[in-house]
Amino acid sequence: MAKIETGETIIIVLRDPREKIWGVLDETNSAGVYMRGIDLNAFDDWIRAIVNNDPFFGMSDYFFPMWRVERVIRDEASGEIPSMAEQFQQKTGLEILTL
């Protein structure tokens, strides 16, 4: 298993309160995780807003202290199901790393 590196797209699962955030990993250290992302529940609405050129909140910079981090998952394809980053690119024509 390869280490998740800075610049990769990830899903972070948090506790207290329970949240899931999708985005790009900036840094991981003993204090916590820095990333640029969006709440997973808003992902589809965000893509629709981009495609339709509608106003919508975008990605934000986050820091999550390690005590809140339950797990960090690499965003990757599973069989024929594309990763979320691939879905974003297919639907918007944009690269997530350019935002």
Q: What is the pLDDT of residue 55?
A: 86
Lookup result for tokens 């918007």: 92
Percentage of the chain exceeding pLDDT 90: 88
Lookup result for tokens 């807003």: 49
Query: pLDDT digits over 77-95, tens only?
Result: 999 999 999 999 999 999 9
Q: What is the DSSP string of 24-61?
A: EEEEE-SSEEEEEEEEGGGHHHHHHHHHTT------EE
Q: Show me where the domains of the chain are located.
A: 9-98
